[in-house]
Amino acid sequence: MLQLDYQLIVDDHVEYQLYLASISERIQKKRLRNRIIVSIVYLILAVTLFLVASYMTGVLFLIIAVLWYVFYPMRDRKRYRKHYEAFFREDASNGKSSTIHAELTTSSIHLEEENSESTIKTTAIQFIDEIGLYYFIRFAKNKAIILPKSQIHHKAAFKNWVDMVTEQHNIERNTDLNWTWK
């Protein structure tokens, strides 16, 4: 049995949500569609203005179309981050994080927080994701246990637990140590 005591802050929850967004095909399609559709609208306006009205106004709309296409990803990244931060800051109780006590065995995960306690069978785990600063143990419907690597004191024991559980229950394991929100 492996025991972990750790705390989660708002940024930990935000990183998990951004990670989910980055691997969600639906969200990636939506982000690409927004980038392309607005650029196309500006291009259509630019061409229309070239043909019908003012050359300079057409050039202006062409520049706006190109700038939108180039800079939209940066705006979109910030917008997603701000959205998740606002949600979790509003949801956090007085900005304090409670200590989580976790007991990990090959058959279950037992979690205790200030006002709750739960036991989850390891057979319910669908994915174990590892990114630069976190492990995410994911279950159905995007429920997860977020584990900041900096708060895992027995790293070798935890890696052994992950290896045993993924092998024993045939759990998909995703590792992207260079992941960043894009």
- pLDDT at residue 99, rounded to an integer: 86
Q: Enter the pTM of the model.
A: 0.86
For residues 58, 60, 62 and 63, what is the CA-based torsion angle, rounded to 10 degrees? 170
- pLDDT at residue 36, rounded to an integer: 95
Mean predicted confidence (pLDDT) in 167-182? 94
Dihedral sign, Cα of residue 90, residue 111, residue 130, residue 178: positive
Which DSSP helix (H) or strand (E) runs through 58? helix 55-91
For residues 63, 66, 67 and 72, what is the CA-based torsion angle, rounded to 10 degrees? 150
Q: Cβ atoms within 10 A of the Cβ of 70, count?
A: 11
Residues in the chain: 182
pLDDT in tens, 65-112: 999 999 999 999 999 999 999 988 887 655 556 789 999 999 999 999
